Structure 1
């Protein structure tokens, strides 16, 4: 067992705390990872605010990269010294999704069996089964994905959640490709990653929608061909107009990605897609939100697909190394997502900047 620094949320809405925790030696199927960098994701804020569950205290942090320090019995995927990006989809290989060859939908993903604890023995609940606002963390070995060790940890660690969710929502879930138009409603971290994914796939036009000019400017830098300030114009009409200029007769974009997680913006996405188009919900709704009422004739008459995207429907072992390679080649600008690098005692202040929309990602560097 080791003792390390870590950031926890002790109670609902309480400020986070930097404390000492106990990290067990890895058991069978587990690995201890020395964390090098970890992004401050909105999901961590949800945990702090009690929006995920009430299993306090939480060990926060999950968008992380680091070095495997030790592995337990039976671990063959990684070895000490490997540079890895952590993921929360350690596929089981045995559930019905895995057995039919759809491991990206694994219904029984693995976490470490042992618990990290406070010094007094209180068990911690790691965010998304990771808990990486810490010098070291204990995870299931399958949560470690080996990538190019020369890559910048602060950038590639973001593939662990938000960036992968957005890129995957566009490519894996939405099916973005050449010859298809894409609109993204909500240009926070996940939304602009969806823009980047659509650009990577060669889609055009790529229409970014938000009410914040700063976020729209970032979306342009990451590949948006058009921007729409939905505080000033009807986004549905704007998306239809832009799409029709490229594809005459189009009644919207082929793929509309909702990256906000609100009923009103989801309804906009529904009506902003072309006939037989696809709506992808990747924004995370809160409890109590309901799908808005829609005439069933509209659901039937417009055809197409209404999808939710789980983690960008990614398979970490397939997608992380590929995206890191694209980053290393200069074809995917992961550095653009890193607004600032902060120390481990700066998480609470980073949450405040997140509220203000001042950052795309703050990244804790250890």
Structure 2
């Protein structure tokens, strides 16, 4: 067992605390990872606010890059000293989705069996099965994806969640490609990931939609060819005007509220595709005329983690970053110490940062 410092959410809406946590030695199939960097994601804030579950206390953080410190019995794919990015959908290989060759939809993803705890023995619920706002964390070994150790941890760790979700929503779920038009509603970390993914895929027209001029400026840096300020313009009309009156081939909702989803639905071309990658809250409801759903054809999809396969996608995207084709460094607004996570949440809510990253 190891004692480390970690960021814990103790109750709904309460400021997070930096406190001592106990990390067990790895058991069978598990690994302890020494965290080098962990991005501050909206999902962590959702955990703090009780938007995911009420299983407090939470050990927050999940966009992790670090080095494997030790592995448990039976672990063969990673070893102590490996540089890894952690993933929160370690596929099982044996559920009905995996058996059908669709492991990105795995129904039985794996996490560590042993709990990390507070000093009094209270078990912690690690965010997305990771708990990366800590000097070390315990995960299932399948959550460790080896990438090029030359990569900077604060940059490549963002592949662990938001950036991968965005890129995958465009490329894996949406199937964006050369000649397409793509509109992205919401230009935070996930939305700009989608824009970067569309640009990487050779999309000819990328339309960024947001209400914040600063976020639209960010979108241009990631490859947006056109921007729409939704405060000043009707989103559906603006997207149609930019696509010869037709609507975009692919519209990605990176916000995840009924208003933006409805906009995405009507801003797409006939038989176009809508991808929902923004995460709705449990109380949200959507109402659409069923005749419109039928008459417009196409596809309405949800994107879980960008439908990624970490062992395939993380090394590939790291290599594309090294080649200068994927500007992952542009997502990092600031690097902060562990004690500044609560302040990073405030900056996130104010729209002042694209990503704060805890650097150890």
User: What TM-score results when the alignment is normalised by the length of structure 1?
Assistant: 0.98
Aligned residue in 2 for 1:247: none
The aligned runs of 1:155-174 (5 Å cut-off) are: 155-174=155-174
The aligned runs of 1:10-89 (5 Å cut-off) are: 10-89=10-89
SS in 2 for 1:163: helix
Deviation at 1:204, TM superposition (A): 1.7
Aligned residue in 1 for 2:314: 320
**1:202, 1:330 → 2: CA distance?**
15
Is 1:8 aligned to 2:8, yes or no? yes
Deviation at 1:294, TM superposition (A): 1.8
**2:331, 2:180 → 1: CA distance?**
25
Deviation at 1:179, TM superposition (A): 1.2
The aligned runs of 1:242-261 (5 Å cut-off) are: 242-244=242-244, 251-261=246-256
Aligned residue in 2 for 1:355: 349
Output one character per residue of 1:138-163: Cα deviation in whole Å (capped at 9) or x when no partner: 00000000000000100100000000
Deviation at 1:66, TM superposition (A): 0.1
The aligned runs of 1:234-273 (5 Å cut-off) are: 234-244=234-244, 251-273=246-268
Structure 2 unaligned regions, length at least 5: none
Output one character per residue of 1:120-148: Cα deviation in whole Å (capped at 9) or x when no partner: 10000000000000000000000000000
Aligned counterpart for 1:279 among listed residues 261, 271, 274: 274
Is 1:130 aligned to 2:164, yes or no? no
Deviation at 1:286, TM superposition (A): 0.7
**1:86, 1:238 → 2: CA distance?**
39
Once superposed, which parts of structure 1, at least 4 consecutive aligned residues long, lie more than 4 Å away?
A: none
SS in 1 for 2:31: strand
Aligned counterpart for 1:345 among listed residues 339, 342, 354: 339
**1:142, 1:118 → 2: CA distance?**
25
Deviation at 1:272, TM superposition (A): 0.2
Is 1:209 aligned to 2:209, yes or no? yes
Output one character per residue of 1:280-337: Cα deviation in whole Å (capped at 9) or x when no partner: 000010111011x222221111110000000000000010000000001111000000
Is 1:329 aligned to 2:323, yes or no? yes
**2:262, 2:173 → 1: CA distance?**
19
Name the count of aligned residue pairs: 360
User: What TM-score results when the alignment is normalised by the length of structure 2?
Assistant: 0.99
**1:267, 1:306 → 2: CA distance?**
11
SS in 2 for 1:26: coil
**2:131, 2:241 → 1: CA distance?**
45
Structure 1 unaligned regions, length at least 5: 245-249
**2:147, 2:349 → 1: CA distance?**
32
Question: How well do the aligned residues superpose, as a CA RMSD in angstroms?
Answer: 0.6
Aligned residue in 1 for 2:285: 290
**2:85, 2:243 → 1: CA distance?**
37
